């Protein structure tokens, strides 16, 4: 009986020890948890100061050289080309004869039409005299007169066709495309050559909606290209499309004074800097400070050893800096490195 009480007592003592140990462990865990909460980790970051700067809004874009003007020389009449007076690369002037269409058939038709018209004119004179002597009727005279007028119309049409057989340059410039050879048959309206004006060139560029309202016709533009890194060309804005294309872009053209056509050839990529943009005082931050996307920008602002996440409104980007329109002020410090580990209210340690 005595051994039974000893066993029961031992069990009670062991259970008590276990309960005490569990309670001690829980107290230790709670203490550690509280210590962790109290000692929050400081996240290392790099910061930059918001700058109050005078910003000149000069837009820089990439464009393409295009011909100043381009004209197509067309065959006005159908026929065989018997004389071509130009070659690829020839310089031509407006009105210069480029080619002749074989007009021998038209010449024969003209002779026949002129003889017919002359006969009808003679008949008209004769019957007019007979009518005055009442030897002919008015109806006969009117009939001959109508036939004579039709014959003269035919003569004039043939003469026009013969004149059109001489194909002339519609503009001055250089022959950039030659599409025919002597002896070829061409139909009326066929293109025989393309002429480009090489005295001037144009650069074509597409501006965004934000950019197009900062550009005006007649504005000066500096043009550079990687092909000639030491040469700066001058140009002026000549055309701004009043309507956007399907990509919400506005076609803009800049006229360039091209003293030597061999320098800037059509299709060359060029860098365009629109000068004379407006200047205004504005706030700038490094692009790296943007913590989210450019469409929905936000930054982490340093406030007393912690950060506050702020949504901001931005403007243009220039030289790695972004214009800030709202939510920040000069001398604010924004995080530029380490944002990935931050949230609103995070404690930070600034690395220099």
Rounded mean pLDDT, 60-77: 88
16, pLDDT greater than 90: no
pLDDT tens-place string over residues 117-141? 999 999 889 888 888 888 888 898 8
pLDDT at 210: 81
The pLDDT of 151-167, averaged and rounded, is 88
Query: What is residue 21's three-state secondary structure?
Result: helix
DSSP conformation letters of 77-119: S-EEEEEE---TT-EE-TT-EEEEE--HHHHHHHHHHHHHHHH
The share of the chain scoring above pLDDT 90, in percent, equals 42
Q: According to the model, what pLDDT value does residue 135 have?
A: 80
Q: Which residue has the higher pLDDT, 350 or 280?
A: 350
> Average model confidence (pLDDT) for the chain?
85
Please say if the pLDDT value at position 347 is more than 90. Answer: yes
Mean pLDDT, residues 246-269: 81
- pTM for the whole thing? 0.49
Residue 29: its pLDDT value, please? 57
Q: Is the pLDDT of residue 35 over 50?
A: no
The larger pLDDT score, comparing residue 115 to residue 18, is at: 115
What is the band of 23 on the pLDDT scale with cuts at 50, 70, 90? low
- Domains in the chain, CATH or no CATH each: 43-56+279-350 (2.40.420.20), 60-68+197-274 (2.40.30.170), 103-164 (1.10.287)
How confident is residue 344, by pLDDT bands cut at 50, 70 and 90? very high
Q: What is the pLDDT of residues 305-335, one digit of tens each?
A: 999 999 999 987 777 888 899 999 999 999 9
Question: What per-residue string of b and e applies to 173-206 under the rule 16 or more CB within 10 Å gives b?
Answer: bbbeebebeeeeebeeebebbbbbbbebbbbebb
86 or 264: whose pLDDT is higher?
86
Q: What is the mean predicted confidence (pLDDT) over 132-152?
A: 88
Closest by Cα among 301, 302, 300, 303 to 340: 300
pLDDT, tens digit, 9 for 90 and up, residues 188-244: 889 999 998 877 789 999 999 888 988 999 999 999 999 888 888 999 999 999 999
Residue 262 pLDDT grade (very low, low, confident, very high; cuts 50, 70, 90) = low
pLDDT at 25 over 70: no
* Neighbour tally for 253: CB within 10 Å: 18
Reduced to 3 states (helix: H, G, I; strand: E, B; else coil), residue 262 is: coil
| Nearest-angstrom CA–CA distance, 48 and 51 | 9
CA atoms of 112 and 97, how far apart (whole Å): 28
pLDDT of residue 336: 94
Give the pLDDT score at 27: 60
pLDDT at 294 over 90: no
């Amino acid at each position: 009986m005595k051994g039974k009480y000893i066993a029961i007592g031992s069990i009670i003592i062991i259970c008590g020890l276990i309960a005490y140990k569990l309670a001690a462990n829980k107290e230790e865990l709670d203490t550690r948890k509280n210590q962790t909460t109290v000692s929050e980790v400081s996240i290392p970051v790099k910061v930059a100061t918001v700058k109050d700067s005078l910003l000149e809004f000069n837009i820089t874009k990439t464009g393409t050289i295009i011909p100043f003007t381009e004209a197509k020389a067309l065959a006005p009449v159908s026929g065989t080309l018997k004389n071509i007076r130009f070659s690829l690369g020839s310089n031509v002037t407006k009105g210069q004869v480029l080619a002749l269409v074989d007009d021998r058939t038209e010449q024969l038709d003209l002779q026949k039409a002129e003889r017919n018209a002359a006969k009808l004119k003679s008949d008209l004179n004769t019957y007019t005299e007979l009518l005055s002597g009442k030897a002919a009727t008015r109806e006969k005279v009117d009939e001959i007169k109508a036939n004579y007028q039709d014959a003269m119309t035919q003569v004039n049409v043939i003469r026009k066709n013969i004149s059109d057989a001489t194909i002339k340059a519609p503009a001055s410039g250089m022959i950039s495309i030659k599409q025919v050879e002597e002896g070829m048959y061409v139909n009326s309206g066929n293109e025989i050559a393309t002429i480009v004006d090489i005295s001037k060139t144009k650069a074509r560029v597409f501006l965004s909606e934000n950019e197009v309202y900062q550009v005006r016709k007649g504005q000066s533009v500096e043009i550079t290209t990687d092909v000639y890194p030491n040469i700066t060309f001058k140009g002026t804005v000549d055309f701004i499309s009043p309507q956007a294309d399907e990509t919400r872009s506005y076609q803009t053209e800049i006229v360039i004074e091209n003293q030597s056509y061999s320098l800037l050839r059509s299709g060359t990529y060029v860098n365009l800097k629109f000068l004379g943009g407006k200047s205004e005082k504005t706030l700038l931050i490094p692009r790296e400070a943007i913590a989210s996307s450019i469409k929905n920008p936000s930054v982490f602002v340093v406030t007393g050893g912690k950060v506050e996440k702020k949504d901001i409104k931005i403007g243009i980007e220039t030289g790695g800096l972004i214009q800030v329109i709202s939510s920040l002020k000069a001398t604010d410090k924004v995080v530029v490195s380490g944002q990935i580990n931050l949230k609103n209210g995070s404690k930070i340690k600034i690395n220099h």
